[in-house]
Amino acid sequence: MSKSTANYRPETRLVHSGTLRSQYGETSEALFLTQGYVYDSAEQCEARFKGEDPGFIYSRYSNPTIAMFERRMIELEGAEAARSAATGMAAVTTAILAPLKAGDHLVASRALFGSCLYVVQDLLPRYGIETTLVDGANLDEWQRAVKPNTKTFFLESPTNPTLDVLDIPGIAEIAHKAGARLVVDNVFATPIWQSPLALGADVVVYSATKHIDGQGRCLGGIILSSEAFIAEHIHNFMRQTGPSISPFNAWVLLKGLETLGVRVRAQTETAARIADVLASHPKISRLVFPGRADHPQAALVKKQMRGGSTLVGFEVKGGKQAAFRVLNELKLAKISNNLGDAKSLVTHPATTTHQRLKPEDRAALGISEGFIRFSAGLEHADDLIEDLTAALEKA
Ligand SMILES: *Cc1c(COP(=O)(O)O)cnc(C)c1O
Report pLDDT digits (tens) over 343-367.
Answer: 999 999 999 999 988 999 899 899 9
CA of residue 37 to ligand 1 center, whole Å: 32
CA of residue 115 to ligand 1 center, whole Å: 8
Peptide linkage before 169 cis (omega within 30 of 0): no
- Tell me which amino acid residue 145 is: A
Integer Cα distance of 72 and 57 in angstroms: 21
Q: Which residues line ligand 1 (CB under 6 A)?
A: 87-89, 92, 113, 115-116, 156, 160, 185, 187, 207, 209-210, 219, 221
CA of residue 57 to ligand 1 center, whole Å: 29
Query: Strand, helix or coil at 225?
Result: strand
Give, for 29, the enclosing helix (H) or strand (E): none
Res 1: pLDDT? 55
The length of the chain is 395
**Contacts (Cβ under 8 Å, ≥6 apart) of 197:** 77, 78, 79, 204, 224, 225
pLDDT tens, residue by residue, 164-196:
999 999 999 999 999 999 999 999 999 999 999
CA of residue 93 to ligand 1 center, whole Å: 11
Residue from 84, 206, 210 to probe ligand 1 pocket by mutation (most atoms less than 8 Å from CB): 210
Integer Cα distance of 89 and 360 in angstroms: 26
Residue of the CA atom closest to atom 8 of ligand 1: 88
Residue of the CA atom closest to atom 4 of ligand 1: 88
CA-to-CA dists, residue 309 to 109, 125, 213, 326, angstroms = 20, 33, 17, 22
CA of residue 50 to ligand 1 center, whole Å: 36
Distance between first and last Cα of the chain = 57
Residue of the CA atom closest to atom 7 of ligand 1: 88
pLDDT tens, residue by residue, 34-66:
999 999 999 999 999 999 999 999 999 999 999
Query: Strand, helix or coil at 338?
Result: coil
pLDDT tens, residue by residue, 251-306:
999 999 999 999 999 999 999 999 999 999 999 999 999 999 999 999 999 999 99
**Nearest atom, ligand 1, residue 210 CA:** 1
Mean pLDDT of 196-212: 98
Q: What is the CA radius of gyration of the chain?
A: 22
Mean pLDDT of 329-333: 97
CA of residue 88 to ligand 1 center, whole Å: 5
Residue of the CA atom closest to atom 1 of ligand 1: 207
Integer Cα distance of 217 and 310 in angstroms: 18
- Position 198 pLDDT exceeds 70: yes
**Nearest atom, ligand 1, residue 220 CA:** 7
**Nearest atom, ligand 1, residue 338 CA:** 1
pLDDT tens, residue by residue, 303-323:
999 999 999 999 999 999 999
CA of residue 381 to ligand 1 center, whole Å: 26
Contacts 24+ apart (CB under 8 A), 319-323: 319/368, 319/369, 319/370, 320/348, 320/350, 320/351, 320/369, 320/370, 322/283, 322/370, 322/395, 323/348, 323/369, 323/370, 323/371, 323/372, 323/395
Residue from 187, 212, 352 to probe ligand 1 pocket by mutation (most atoms less than 8 Å from CB): 187
Residue of the CA atom closest to atom 2 of ligand 1: 207
Integer Cα distance of 161 and 374 in angstroms: 9
On whether the CB atoms of residues 329 and 384 are closer than 8 A, the answer is no
- Strand ranges across the sheet with 150-156: 81-85, 221-225, 203-207, 181-185, 150-156, 105-109, 130-134
Q: How confident is the model at residue 395 (pLDDT cuts 50, 70, 90)?
A: confident
- Position 375 pLDDT exceeds 90: yes
Residue from 87, 117, 119, 207 to probe ligand 1 pocket by mutation (most atoms less than 8 Å from CB): 207
- Tell me which amino acid residue 362 is: R
Residue from 84, 113, 249 to probe ligand 1 pocket by mutation (most atoms less than 8 Å from CB): 113
Domains of the chain: 10-258 (3.40.640.10), 261-392 (3.90.1150.10)
Helix axes 260-279, 381-394, angle to 10 degrees: 40
Q: Give alpha helix (H) positions in the chain.
A: 10-16, 42-50, 64-77, 88-97, 114-118, 124-126, 139-145, 168-177, 190-193, 227-229, 235-241, 247-258, 260-279, 298-304, 319-329, 359-364, 381-394
Residue 105: phi, psi to the nearest 5? -130, 140
Integer Cα distance of 254 and 222 in angstroms: 12
Res 226: pLDDT? 98
Helix axes 247-258, 64-77, angle to 10 degrees: 40
pLDDT tens, residue by residue, 98-154:
999 999 999 999 999 989 999 999 999 999 999 999 999 999 999 999 999 999 999
The answer to whether the predicted template modeling score (pTM) of the entire model surpasses 0.85 is: yes
Q: How confident is the model at residue 6 (pLDDT cuts 50, 70, 90)?
A: confident
